[in-house]
Structure 1
């Protein structure tokens, strides 16, 4: 469904809300075909990072590049068409539409990016990844559980044929068993499809269990960067910033 593209490079990115600095010269690279976790407590700047990458928040300084293409300051729709799909916190499905109608909305952007060829194949692949959605394809989205809604918004983003998937707190409000299932699906998605994932999570333990690399934010700054296993094994870092 996705193709290996270039790296997502965040260079010296800063963002402010009035006098408050939410991001302070952040440098992060999300390598192609890998899961990069961005971790930290509430208020660390994680959501602002994704919103600035996707063009929903205007950065004050720094740059955003995808495969060397400079997307800094571009409108959100231009960034989406370039291949960056943002799944925001809160599972924003359109509840009055059916599961399949929600998915078809993502498909519209995918068709614009890649053409209509293999459109039904892409939809079939999403149903293969998320069998619960296939079983409920004719039901209105308001009938879905929290975990199923999270699968739906991820599936809708995938149908836009992105190179990079930005996931903001996908585990929020879900039971531990559902979180484990969802994170396993995300890992399988990356392994099967070669998509690049930038995963923002407060649930650091679960995120590091599937991530390849990780960055820790604190008060808008990167305070640690390493492979996921090293971050998970650093007891002082975990206790100071990650809460486990």
Structure 2
């Protein structure tokens, strides 16, 4: 579903990513792991078109992504949930969800997608008339994820979904991601500081350090590799 080949990227003259290469098969979860400053968020911003790569190739379901405008990437089935649970605080839950489907021509299916989000997140259904600023941190993360799902993406880029959340809420979100992959065939690229939690649901891990990929391997192998864990993952 996603092929990243020798991609380099950064901010102006400052390079961050250097020759990053890995692939994510359809219907799987790949966890991007590493210390702060490894380039994980820059990677997601580059893949979603917010940053222009300076080298390499990015293919989504076989099609080249470099140079494609962000709105076209969304229409092709790519969704990006950035770090920070970026909901519109003044809008209600329902209004935030509608934002995720404004571009869709099939209004009936957009409404069905919204109902599906309420089924996935009953807490949002109960608080659909509440404004974003009235929600808990966990509810805001659910809303950000639900808004992305309204677009029915095939590839979801998710940046630090557990940041600031209670362990129980984190476990619920991770379990949901696994279920979406298994039941709907969603492909997920997950950036996560909670390494144990990420590897518990991921199919593979992509370990980064200083803008480069150290290794890309099955999640089970990373969990069992004590030397790699101590050197790059902190446990």
Q: TM-score interval w.r.t. the shorter chain?
A: over 0.9
Does 2:129 align with 1:138? yes
List gaps (5 residues or longer) in structure 1.
1-6
Does 2:27 align with 1:36? no
Does 2:138 align with 1:147? yes
Does 2:54 align with 1:60? yes
From 42, 45, 70, give the equivalent of 2:64.
70
Residue 191 of structure 1 corresponds to 182
8 Å contact kept, 1:59–1:73: no
From 6, 9, 12, give the equivalent of 1:12.
6
Q: Deviations over 1:13-36 (max 9, x none)?
A: 101224432101111211111111
List gaps (5 residues or longer) in structure 2.
none
Residue 174 of structure 1 corresponds to 165
Does 2:40 align with 1:46? yes
8 Å contact kept, 2:90–2:131: yes
Question: Could you tell me how far apart the structure 2 residues matched to 1:179 and 1:89 are?
Answer: 14
Does 2:218 align with 1:227? yes
Residue 4 of structure 1 corresponds to none
Question: Could you tell me how far apart the structure 1 residues matched to 2:175 and 2:76 are?
Answer: 27
Question: Could you tell me how far apart the structure 2 residues matched to 1:220 and 1:181 are?
Answer: 30
Greater shift in the superposed pair: 182-191 or 30-39: 182-191
Question: Could you tell me how far apart the structure 1 residues matched to 2:196 and 2:76 are?
Answer: 32
Q: Deviations over 1:53-99 (max 9, x none)?
A: 01111100011111111111222222222211000000000011110
Q: How many residues align?
A: 235
TM-score scaled by length of structure 1: 0.93
Aligned-pair distance for 1:117? 4.3
Q: Deviations over 1:91-125 (max 9, x none)?
A: 0000111101100110223x24xx33433221111
8 Å contact kept, 2:4–2:21: yes
Residue 3 of structure 1 corresponds to none
Question: Could you tell me how far apart the structure 1 residues matched to 2:199 and 2:181 are?
Answer: 15
* Partner-residue secondary structure (3-state), 1:118: helix
8 Å contact kept, 1:163–1:195: yes
From 69, 82, 94, give the equivalent of 2:88.
94
Question: Could you tell me how far apart the structure 2 residues matched to 1:99 and 1:117 are?
Answer: 19
